């Protein structure tokens, strides 16, 4: 029997629990990292084999059968007191498989999702007609580009008022996805950003190295980023200590020579997203790493943000990322393809990038 994931609300209110019961709850439900143990359960481990799938994925049979009229879907969901989730996916996407298996493959998460949301599926390479809330019509792939669903799965949360409450780009492990569901369903999005909501609950899931990972691609301080990007694009790595996903990124794709070679055409900087390290942003603003991360509403580590030579954001990767996806993004930036095609998702299709990334 699969254990229930403790809700974000349960974690946030554990201060009122007796210490022994709090510890027991963490050990049973959150996979605390004790000496000699493997720290992550398979479903919570952010590592994903991101090689494109051989067989196409099928969406869960409990997804809503929709005519893809978004306003109609919102209205119907609201009649039953629910919000709407728009799921952007691909048939051969390994990250989608991880999401459908580890998140919507769990009975507790499925039950919570269905109780609070209707879910409709969009194929980011599809050609079905989608009618947006303003009446404008798109194909599925141009609709995905309109909402900047650069990475699949992208999960777009529409609240009971028909407003976009949250967008998750890429695969998130179960404890984060469950927190996202509650964040919108319990209307926390009207009070605070997801970064702050999630940070209060994430302490129980924190494990990994006590220091940031070193890498020769990173430029040393001072971090005057407005000067670094004048000659070539810039990528900023927002990381944190005790970050298992950060450790995986450095130990796997970033350890490969072919990946590091793609970084030679850009400057790279690493920041601790919770630190007071002084930074001058690409726009020339003096701030700290934490204050800038707050301003950017970052809620995942590691997050990679790419900037062009003028200081404009090109694309950000703020979810689990493996070799194939990272290589594709780096090629998009390294070849300056963003100058001709600002939509990474459309660029992948036009350049016959393998489906799934």
Computed over every residue of the chain, the mean pLDDT equals: 86
d(CA 228, CA 134): 41
Residue with more model confidence, 114 or 13:
114
Q: Determine phi and psi for 73, rounding to 5 degrees.
A: -65, -40
pLDDT attached to residue 46: 64
How confident is the model at residue 2, as a pLDDT?
47
Distance CA 85, CA 159 (A): 9
Question: Could you read off the pLDDT of 8-53 as tens digits, one per residue?
Answer: 444 344 333 333 233 233 333 434 333 333 344 445 566 688 898 9
What is the mean predicted confidence (pLDDT) over 344-352? 89
Task: Evaluate the CA torsion angle 242, 170, 275, 165 in order and state its sign.
Answer: negative
Residue length, the chain? 357
> Which pLDDT does position 231 carry in this prediction?
81
> pLDDT at residue 338 above 50?
yes
Strand 83-89 relative to strand 154-158, pairing: antiparallel
What's the whole-model pTM score? 0.83
pLDDT digits (tens, 9 = 90+) for 51-95: 989 999 999 999 999 999 999 999 999 999 999 999 999 999 999
**96-124 average pLDDT score:** 97
Q: Residue 348 pLDDT > 80, yes or no?
A: yes
| Token pair for 252 | 């796997």
Place of tokens 């390994």: 94
* pLDDT at 353 > cutoff 90: no
DSSP string, 222-247: PEEHHHHTTTS-EEEEEE-SSBHHHH
* pLDDT of res. 193: 93
**pLDDT grade, residue 200 (50/70/90)?**
confident
pLDDT higher than 60, residue 146: yes
Show me where the domains of the chain are located: 223-321
Q: Is the pLDDT assigned to residue 181 strictly greater than 90?
A: yes
How many CA atoms lie within 13 Å of 143's alpha carbon, on the beta-carbon side? 29
- The radius of gyration of the chain from alpha carbons, rounded to an integer in Å, stands at 20
Q: What band does 266 get if pLDDT is binned at 50, 70 and 90?
A: very high
User: What is the tens place of the pLDDT at every residue in 282-331?
Assistant: 999 999 999 999 999 999 999 999 999 999 999 999 999 999 999 999 99
pLDDT band at 202 (very low <50, low <70, confident <90, very high): low
**Averaged pLDDT for residues 161-181:** 93
Q: Closest Cα partner for 158 from 110, 112, 116, 122?
A: 116
pLDDT value, residue 199: 84
Q: What CATH code would you report for 223-321? A: 3.40.30.10
């Amino acid at each position: 029997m699969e254990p229930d994931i403790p809700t974000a609300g349960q974690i946030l209110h554990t201060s009122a629990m007796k210490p022994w019961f709090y510890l027991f709850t963490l050990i049973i439900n959150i996979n605390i990292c004790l000496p000699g143990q493997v720290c992550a359960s398979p479903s919570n481990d952010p590592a994903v084999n991101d090689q494109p799938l051989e067989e196409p994925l099928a969406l869960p049979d409990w997804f809503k059968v929709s005519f893809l009229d978004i306003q109609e879907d919102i209205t119907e969901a609201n009649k039953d007191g629910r919000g709407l989730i728009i799921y952007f996916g691909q048939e051969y996407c390994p990250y989608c498989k991880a999401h459908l298996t580890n998140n919507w493959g769990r009975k507790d998460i499925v039950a919570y999702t269905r109780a609070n949301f209707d879910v409709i599926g969009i194929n980011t390479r599809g050609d079905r007609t989608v009618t947006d809330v303003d009446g404008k019509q798109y194909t599925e792939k141009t609709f995905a580009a309109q909402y900047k669903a650069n990475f699949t799965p992208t999960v777009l949360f529409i609240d009971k008022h028909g407003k976009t409450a949250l967008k998750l780009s890429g695969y998130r492990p179960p404890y984060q996805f469950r927190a996202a569901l509650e964040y919108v369903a319990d209307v926390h999005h009207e009070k605070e950003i997801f970064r702050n909501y999630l940070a209060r609950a994430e302490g129980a899931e924190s494990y990994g190295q006590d220091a940031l990972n070193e890498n020769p691609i990173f430029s040393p301080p001072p971090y005057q980023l407005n000067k670094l990007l004048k000659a070539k694009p810039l990528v900023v790595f927002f990381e944190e200590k005790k970050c298992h996903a950060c450790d995986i990124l450095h130990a796997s794709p970033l350890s490969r020579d072919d990946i590091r070679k793609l970084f030679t055409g850009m400057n790279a900087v690493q920041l601790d997203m919770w630190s007071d390290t002084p930074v001058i942003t690409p726009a020339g603003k003096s701030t700290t790493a934490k204050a800038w991360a707050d301003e950017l509403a970052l809620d995942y580590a590691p997050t990679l943000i790419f900037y062009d030579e003028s200081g404009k954001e090109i694309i950000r990767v703020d979810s689990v990322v493996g070799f194939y996806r990272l290589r594709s993004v780096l090629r998009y930036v390294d070849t300056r393809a963003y100058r001709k095609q600002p939509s990474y998702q459309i660029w992948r299709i036009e350049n016959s990038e393998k489906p799934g990334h």
